[in-house]
Amino acid sequence: MAEEEFTDINGNSISLDCQTHSAFCREFTVTSPKLSLRKVMVYTCFIWLFAYAIFFFTENTAVLSSAILLTLAGMMIHIHFVKVDHETLLIIGSLGVQLSSSYASGRESTTFIEMSKLKDIVINEAVYMHSIIYYLCILIKDPAEPETVTSVVPLFQSSKPRLNCLVQVYRSCQEILAQTR
């Protein structure tokens, strides 16, 4: 049970929560900042003023109603599909790893990776847009071929924590993985 001040790659503050359920089971939750009311109001005002400007010149009321519908639909799509509230990594030694993303509307998307397919959990650096970032990823192997990495699953993609947060999660995971090797 530990909570400290961390930030993501853009400087927004996030929080990391580590829970130790037992000697071989740990859960890490990275929580992104909540949707800011100020941003929502600014976007809505911009779109509605723009729509009113178009209405002013064209005298067509459909522009106004479509702007309202567009803002409503856009907000619903955003909180249901785009805005991630928290991401969870649950590691159970000798069983596997569960990744879960919880969206702002309450929707949860979960995947499970069994231990025989998991080669390692590492911190890798890669080019992302205009910069190079550190990110935690799971190396997947085929149980028949233990030395080849067949695919890579990046973790905490929506919150993108910085290195200090990743190192803490990495050390904790390696303790569990070392027990089960």
Partner 1 sequence: MMVENSPSPLPERAIYGFVLFLGSQFGFLLYVVWAFVPDDWLHSAGLTYWPQKYWALAAPIYLLVTLTTCFVLLFGVNMMNTAPLGSVDNITDRYARSQCTAEDQEGVIPRLRDVPISEINRLFYLDHHEP
- Give residues in contact with partner 1 (CB under 8 A): 119-120, 122-124, 126-129, 135, 137, 139, 148-154, 157, 167, 170-171, 174
Closest CB to partner 1 among residues 79, 123: 123
Q: Which is nearer to partner 1, 34 or 130 (CB)?
A: 130
Minimum distance between the CB of residue 148 and partner 1, rounded to whole angstroms?
7
CA-wise closest residue to 138 among 90, 179, 104 = 90
Question: Considering only CA atoms, which of 149, 137, 159 is closest in space to residue 17?
Answer: 159
Shortest reach from residue 170's CB to partner 1, in Å: 5
Looking at the Cβ atoms of 110 and 124, the one nearer to partner 1 is 124
Do 6 and 161 contact (CB within 8 A), yes or no?
yes
Closest approach of partner 1 to the CB of residue 29, in Å: 21
Nearer residue to partner 1 within complex by CB, 16 or 51: 16
The amino acid at 92:
I
Amino acid in position 5:
E
Structure tokens of 158? Answer: 């929506």
**C-beta of 150: minimal distance to partner 1 in Å?**
7
Report the sign of the C-alpha dihedral through residues 156, 92, 164, 119, in that order: negative
Strands 25-31 and 13-22: antiparallel
Closer residue to partner 1 (CB): 86 or 119:
119
Q: Do 55 and 64 contact (CB within 8 A), yes or no?
A: yes
∠ CA(126), CA(117), CA(146), 5° rounding? 85
For residue 105, the minimal CB distance to partner 1 (Å) is 25
